[in-house]
């Protein structure tokens, strides 16, 4: 039976790799909707190839351009178009590969329509995890992790219960600055930070990997997805990026999921699940070519984002949402040359310190906290002036 898919963020790294999976399994997967934010020039040939019935873009001008090249497709624009795409009646699965807090409302919209969500947008769970998971449970929809780390944990847990878990071990590549001193980090450039040693990702996620904020967000996600307390979630740096994560069980046994650093493997698993391990053309792991597997503890002093994420996760309420939003703003300011690399986490920390959570916790409080964090971060960035 063919599965009807909606792909949000189709021209980003995850979206394009998901479309590779669709190409490899075109008889089992059908794309019925696509979205793009900036790269409409890349979106048009995708529309022509996959023939979705609906397309969501950012602006009216973009919509006109798409209609001119693809007159048979229905095109919407703006936030409402994303919500329309997320709840199409014939959709079986939404792949949310949007970047940032923009992914929250489309996820909730899909879950309201009882559509399963394959989530590559980690900010959705970080900012509004309890609300999102409650919505999924209410509507009997599944939240399926796409990140390689959470996919690895999910695969290791097949046939096991949460009660059998002693701890989760989330692996990190260590990014480009694993061996860079704290003093040297003061002078790193944008290009330095974007030079990830093993993974090919979008710019925002690549910077998060450099600061280890990405790993902090994943710790929060792991806590929410698998119900494991923070003190039983360990991060280990594994620069070879072959072991994608591990689960240690109560008897001391450890299961690890391994593979080449290729996001198409966890994407395919998210789209088909354990019962659908179909053949794929992706490169295989050749152990004879691997000289070593190494693991080390992360440096919490050099990478303070990781401890900040643990702290915000344990504080709960809107603290993770504030941390996430402030980080988005700070990362984009760094990529725009407005601040230095070390300013990123310092700004996030100061915004978190400025935040006072409300006693109630609902979706409106999440968005209010998100807006507070963005405004506060922008003010701090403005005060610092141009650093790069």
Feature table: binding site: 11-14, 121-123, 147-149, 173, 196, 202, 209, 214-215, 218
Strand partners for 249: 165
Extract the annotated binding site for Mn(2+).
Answer: 147, 149, 218
Phi, psi (5° rounding) for residue 371? Answer: -70, -40
Strand partners for 170: 235, 245
Stretch (H or E) spanning 154: helix 148-156
Taken in order 130, 136, 137, 143, the sign of the CA dihedral is negative
Distances (CA, A) of 323 to 5, 224, 254, 364, 367: 31, 16, 32, 17, 13
Coil, helix or strand at residue 118: strand
Measured CA to CA, the distance from residue 228 to residue 219 in angstroms comes to 10
Measured CA to CA, the distance from residue 282 to residue 260 in angstroms comes to 9
Half-sphere exposure of residue 267: CA atoms within 13 angstroms, side-chain side? 28
Measured CA to CA, the distance from residue 68 to residue 40 in angstroms comes to 12
What does the buried/exposed string (b/e) look like for 115-147 if buried means 16 or more CB atoms within 10 Å of the residue's CB?
A: bbbbbbbbbbbbbbbebbbebbeeeebebbbbb
Extract the annotated binding site for NADPH.
Answer: 11-14, 121, 123, 202
Question: Could you give the strand order of the β-sheet that contains 116-119, starting from the edge strand earlier in sequence?
Answer: 74-77, 54-57, 29-35, 3-8, 93-96, 116-119, 143-145
Extract the annotated binding site for 1-deoxy-D-xylulose 5-phosphate.
Answer: 122, 148-149, 173, 196, 209, 214-215, 218
Measured CA to CA, the distance from residue 372 to residue 255 in angstroms comes to 41
């Amino acid at each position: 039976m063919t599965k009807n898919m909606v792909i949000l963020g189709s021209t980003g790294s995850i979206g394009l790799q998901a479309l590779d999976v669709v190409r490899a399994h075109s008889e089992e997967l059908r794309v019925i909707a696509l979205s793009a934010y900036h790269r409409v020039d890349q979106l048009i040939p995708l529309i022509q190839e996959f023939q979705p019935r609906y397309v969501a873009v950012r602006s009216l001008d973009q919509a006109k351009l798409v209609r001119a090249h693809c007159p048979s497709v229905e095109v919407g624009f703006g936030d409402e178009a994303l919500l329309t795409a997320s709840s199409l009646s014939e959709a079986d699965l939404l792949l949310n590969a949007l970047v940032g807090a923009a992914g929250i409302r489309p996820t909730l919209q899909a879950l309201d329509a009882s559509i399963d969500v394959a989530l590559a947008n980690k900010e959705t769970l970080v900012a509004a995890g309890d609300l999102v998971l409650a919505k999924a449970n209410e509507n009997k929809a599944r939240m399926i992790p796409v990140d390689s780390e959470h996919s690895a944990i999910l695969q290791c847990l097949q046939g096991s219960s949460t009660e059998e878990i002693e701890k989760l071990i989330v692996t990190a590549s260590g990014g480009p600055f694993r061996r860079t001193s704290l003093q040297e980090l003061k002078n790193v450039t944008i290009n330095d930070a974007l030079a990830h040693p093993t993974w090919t990702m979008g710019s925002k996620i690549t910077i998060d990997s450099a600061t280890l904020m990405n790993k902090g967000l994943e710790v929060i996600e792991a806590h929410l997805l698998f119900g494991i307390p923070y003190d039983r979630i360990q991060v280990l740096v594994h620069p070879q990026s072959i072991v994608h994560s591990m689960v240690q069980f109560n008897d001391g046994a450890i299961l690890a999921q391994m593979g080449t650093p290729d996001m198409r493997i966890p994407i395919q698993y998210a789209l088909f699940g354990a019962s659908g391990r179909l053949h794929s053309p992706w490169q295989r792991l050749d152990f004879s070519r691997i000289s070593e597997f190494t693991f080390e503890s992360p440096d919490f002093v050099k990478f303070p984002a990781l401890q900040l994420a643990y702290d915000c996760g344990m504080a709960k309420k809107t603290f993770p949402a504030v941390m996430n939003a402030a980080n988005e703003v700070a990362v984009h300011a760094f990529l725009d040359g407005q601040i230095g690399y070390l300013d990123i986490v310092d700004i996030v920390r100061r915004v978190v310190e400025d935040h006072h959570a409300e006693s109630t916790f609902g979706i409106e409080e999440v968005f209010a906290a998100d807006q507070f964090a963005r405004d506060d971060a922008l003010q701090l960035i403005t005060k610092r002036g141009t650093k790069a």
